[in-house]
């Protein structure tokens, strides 16, 4: 399998002939969908099939469907959810997070999508930037670990692979990394006991996504995504052995042009570069300056592909009723 270290988007609700030709040549690891690509379940199924046909194999197609504010799919075709932080306050939180994951999985699988960029392992702090805070699964590490495990289990029960994010922890960011580069000044011992320890408990997941922020005591110059020191810590101290994917490299937390951003991330130890905006010329530039996946990165990619879960049949309407009942307790 000749794969290149990218997850790419596409421009619209259908692939263009130029995109299909490029994807056939580029052979990215997978694809990601956004609101611009989504209309209804049949259209999304057709788009997913077109993307997979373009590369000639059953490539992963992913989406950000956390539920709450970050949800690419909504009514009337798909389930909607309260923000995760609010849900974490429910007395039945662990069960409701499993149900949330299973219901989301049903929506995604029936639309042709097989990977979700969730769960989150970030701990909500009082001053976590609002772009992230109410997406978190709790305000303490035990709460986040339990709820993240539950949601991932629900996803896999429904046939969807999860992507753990944002390794090694984004909860202390006071800035929006889509626009700025946050810097975490906390003592490393505190981080090891809180933020990092969450991901250590969740390290068995097949895929993870990095955080675009600086951990000053580990590497004061480079964001985690592009920091050999932080990636080494993720691998050797947190113990995460899965496929490590960057957050979107178009985000303004990262400096330099796209080529520089991608090469720095791959050079630091990330396995896959995520490029979301679907701009064909940008994708071509990235591909022209890359090499095929090889070595441990290729092994991790193959493992994540081979470990895609098989859905377990269940009464979805009954689960939806249970979820709503528990949330109203």
315 catalytic residue (yes or no): no
Using DSSP, state whether 183 is helix, strand or coil.
Answer: strand
Q: Which long-range contacts (CB under 8 A, 24 or more apart) does 85-92 make?
A: 85/124, 85/133, 85/134, 85/135, 85/136, 85/137, 85/138, 85/139, 86/134, 87/327, 88/136, 88/137, 88/138, 88/139, 88/143, 88/147, 90/326, 90/327, 90/329, 91/329, 92/326, 92/329
120: DSSP letter: B
Please state, in angstroms and rounded to a whole number, the distance separating the CA atoms of residues 200 and 192: 9
Please state, in angstroms and rounded to a whole number, the distance separating the CA atoms of residues 298 and 111: 28
Please state, in angstroms and rounded to a whole number, the distance separating the CA atoms of residues 119 and 65: 10
Q: DSSP H helical segments within the chain, as ranges? A: 17-26, 41-55, 84-87, 93-109, 141-157, 188-193, 195-201, 228-233, 258-268, 280-288, 295-306, 316-327
Please state, in angstroms and rounded to a whole number, the distance separating the CA atoms of residues 43 and 57: 20
- Contact (CB, 8 A) for 109 and 29: no
178 catalytic residue (yes or no): yes
One of 64, 122, 247, 271 is an active-site residue; which one? 247
284: DSSP letter: H
Cα angle value 161/116/13 (rounded, 5°): 125
Using DSSP, state whether 201 is helix, strand or coil.
Answer: helix
One of 46, 77, 178, 216 is an active-site residue; which one? 178
Please state, in angstroms and rounded to a whole number, the distance separating the CA atoms of residues 262 and 264: 5
Give the total residue count for the chain: 329
- Contact (CB, 8 A) for 103 and 136: no
Residues in contact with 236: Cβ distance below 8 Å, sequence separation at least 6, in sequence order: none
Active site residues: 178, 247
């Amino acid at each position: 399998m000749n794969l290149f270290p990218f997850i790419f988007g596409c421009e619209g609700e259908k692939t263009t002939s130029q995109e299909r030709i490029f994807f056939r040549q580029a052979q990215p690891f997978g694809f990601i969908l956004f609101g611009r690509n989504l209309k209804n379940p049949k259209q999304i199924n057709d788009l997913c099939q077109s993307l997979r046909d373009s590369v000639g194999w059953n490539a992963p197609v992913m989406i950000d469907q956390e539920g709450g504010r970050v949800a690419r799919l909504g009514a009337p075709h798909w389930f909607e959810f309260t923000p995760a932080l609010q849900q974490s306050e429910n007395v039945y939180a662990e069960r409701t997070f499993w149900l949330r994951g299973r219901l989301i999985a049903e929506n995604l699988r029936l639309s042709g999508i097989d990977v979700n960029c969730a769960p989150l392992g970030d701990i909500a702090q009082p001053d976590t930037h609002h772009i992230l805070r109410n997406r978190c699964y709790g305000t303490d590490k035990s709460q986040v670990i339990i709820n993240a495990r539950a949601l991932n289990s629900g996803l896999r029960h429904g046939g969807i692979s999860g992507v753990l994010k944002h390794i090694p922890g984004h909860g202390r960011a006071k800035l929006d990394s889509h626009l700025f580069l946050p810097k975490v000044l906390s003592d490393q011992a505190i981080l090891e006991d809180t933020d990092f320890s969450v991901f250590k408990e969740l390290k068995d997941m097949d895929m993870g996504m990095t955080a675009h922020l600086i951990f000053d005591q580990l590497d004061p110059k480079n964001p985690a995504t592009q920091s050999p020191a932080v990636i080494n810590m993720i691998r050797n101290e947190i113990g995460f052995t899965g496929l490590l994917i960057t957050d979107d490299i178009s985000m303004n937390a990262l400096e330099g042009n796209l080529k520089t951003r991608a090469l720095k991330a791959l050079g630091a130890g990330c396995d896959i570069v995520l490029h979301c905006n679907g701009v064909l010329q940008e994708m071509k530039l990235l591909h022209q300056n890359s090499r095929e996946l090889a070595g441990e990165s290729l092994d991790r990619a193959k493992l994540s592909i081979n470990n895609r879960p098989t859905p377990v049949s269940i009464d979805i309407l009954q689960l939806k009723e249970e979820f709503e009942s528990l949330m109203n307790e």
